A and B are shown apart, each in its own frame.
Chain A
């Protein structure tokens, strides 16, 4: 957290007024008195013409619920923003500062330009921008790249449950940390066993194996601890809804919307979730947090809706409350917003 707000060493200030016209954006940008503004309604992709940048620091002022994802791209096509390791951060409402390391994002190279992906509902005004260029000298640049990857923070994403991104000893040489530690462990064991044999004339590998294992494992643990620390959330809350409001790990609006819906919808009411047809994550998350209330995904035109794993099934006329989340389809006839988080996330009821 402290590193994120500390000045970015070696960075140069970018003049926003000169820079604004060169930004590639999927939504209109506007010049505000104190920076460059963009309205986020769903998602916005931004290509920054800063080829060779290895790190950015952005000062911003935000309103609403917006998540920033960063990576790099060629400038011609939009990269998949959620590819692991998924680099993201929710922009807390009000003024703030984020420091973005681009080297640890997928496929970064000096030829690529920074790509920012804003998702949610709200407004973001960039009030300051600093960029640090990668070193011109290839040896220095490669060394810095390897070091950044070696200590790259673990990024918890949709695939983390299956595997944690592998730590590198030297990413430029495709040398994994675990292989280096493994061979170091074997070398330590052999050294210990042979040393014991040379001095005591006895075959006793146990202590050598034990000591080498502990030393090598401790080294691996140290790296893992450093990498995992930024991802830890160490402030438990006893209140379910407070935890949900705080939870914005994968989407800025979903946690607060789930908490809002839990409070607004009675325990016996039957719920439908209206989201984009392609958005599996949104409706499943909402239905899960509303359980045990019967909850289904509303699919326009369907005579019957299905819930998680097909356990709940409801007809359109059986639904008491609707949770609307960035849906493309309008609210079904007879429903009107009753409790609103923002224009894309609210609870609706029959009039």
Chain B
């Protein structure tokens, strides 16, 4: 019960943050799950930064103040600016809300499967301490340290390894005085899964394509390893869920070109960056693509379009500074160090070549598959990711013309970059963890979640009749369109 109270506080704070930043969509069905994601990111970022930069450990007054700040800010803005409540806070214009996907005979079983998986995950995740299949989990132990205020060298290292969100968000109830119960970590992840599915369905319904939302939910719940991870306390699922939610808004921005969607996507990507040490690396390509997309789509506005997103990026800089203060530069960016060592080491290059060469060169066992074989099998054959990558590969080939036509090119590029990064990690940076099956499967979970959301949007777009176009008219956006009203239209433009 205390957990649910803490979760409600976190969610309310997140909704307040969205409203204060004018990122609310005007629909509670979207804003509440989005608020859960935003609230966790806000609470974790501020609490972690205050501890790391100012040395103030998490405590009840601080937690209450951090959670209340967005709500207070929203209230203040409403009071000082009478028009604030009605400005922003809505989806792009011209959208027809539609709740029921069509055809129902097809989507009813898909919805039933998604809900059945959600129920099974919630019950199993809440009834078994699965985090103990590894004895203890860094990501389950870190929140205990945060709640206890432990901040010695080893604790700092462990909290940085977990990332601010996994380390801080599940600890809220304990910080407020509840006894430590590791099951709060399970419950937080299960609740995030619920929030993700609700967000995907509600957002797509609000935007008139409930098929894309239910399709994404079905695709996500058809990834067996992701489903198992959600019942445990490993953070790959957490990273996958933040990335999946971010891609819902990346896709929406590509299709509707509403800058608020870009800002929502950025907020979620910065949340993903605060999960595990690799979260930042996973989110970085998507952030870069998003900023480039905003600059291109809104180029008529000049640099102002980017300036609107700058405060969010700057706020994340504080979190990075906090991590550097906690564990130093080498500890804060371990992948850069690993990549530099890999590049500099001639032996490393030789080992990579040997690993990539396959069975004969890998080692003593002549029958052992090489890294490429294992990586390809992880994508297509061994069932951990379901059929997702089969469908994605075929869809990209057959539906390629639809990608650009329906505004999915930029988000597709972001997906491609994240996949390339994941492949580079599995094949080049850490081939040993691919050869021993240690991390190759779960490292593919974040990009798979993003792929599920993107793929669903692509397939639904491809099933629309040719006459239905998703992108708003005018390649230069609404500003250009409003300026050309009443003028003769160029045919074929």
Contact = CB atoms under 8 A, between A and B. Distances in A.
Interface of A: 156-164, 166-167, 176-179, 181-182, 185-186, 189, 193, 205-207, 209-211, 213-214, 216-218, 220-221, 224, 228, 232-238, 240, 243-244, 247, 249-250, 255, 267, 280-281, 284-285, 287-289, 291-292, 308-311
A250 B132 contact: yes
A312 B224 CA distance: 37
B279 interface: no
Contacts of A178: 380-383, 386-387
A290 to B, nearest CB: 10
A160 B181 CA distance: 23
A175 B182 CA distance: 41
Interface string B153-185: 011011000000000000000000001111100
Nearest to A267: B179
B113 interface: yes
Given A166-B383, A206-B399, A288-B141, A161 B232 contact: yes
8 contacts: A162-B439, A181-B387, A209-B394, A213-B395, A288-B141, A289-B182, A309-B141, A311-B154
Contacts of B382: 163, 166, 176, 178
Interface string B398-426: 11001000000000000000000000000
Nearest to A292: B148
B145 A311 contact: yes
A89 to B, nearest CB: 15
Given A162-B442, A178-B387, 8 more contacts: A178-B386, A211-B106, A233-B124, A234-B124, A236-B123, A247-B132, A291-B180, A292-B147
A164 B402 contact: no
B326 to A, nearest CB: 14
B110 A206 contact: no
Main secondary structure of the interface of B (DSSP, over half): helix
B398 A193 contact: yes
Contacts of B129: 243-244, 247, 255, 289
A182 B136 contact: no
Given A209-B459, A308-B141, A217 B135 contact: no
A350 to B, nearest CB: 24
Contacts of A236: 123, 126-127
Interface in B1-48: 1
Contacts of B386: 178, 217, 220-221, 224
B124 A176 contact: no
Contacts of B380: 178-179, 182
Interface of B: 1, 106, 109-110, 113, 120, 123-124, 126-136, 138, 140-141, 144-145, 147-148, 150, 152, 154-155, 157-158, 179-183, 215, 218-219, 222, 224-225, 228-229, 232, 234, 380-384, 386-387, 390-391, 394-395, 398-399, 402, 437-439, 441-442, 459-464
Contacts of B145: 292, 311
B136 A287 contact: yes
Contacts of A216: 387, 390-391
A177 B380 CA distance: 11
A249 B133 contact: yes
Contacts of A206: 399, 402, 459, 461-464
Given A206-B402, A236-B127, A289-B182, A217 B387 contact: yes
A217 B140 contact: no
A218 B113 contact: yes
A205 B144 contact: no
Given A161-B133, A164-B384, A217 B222 contact: yes
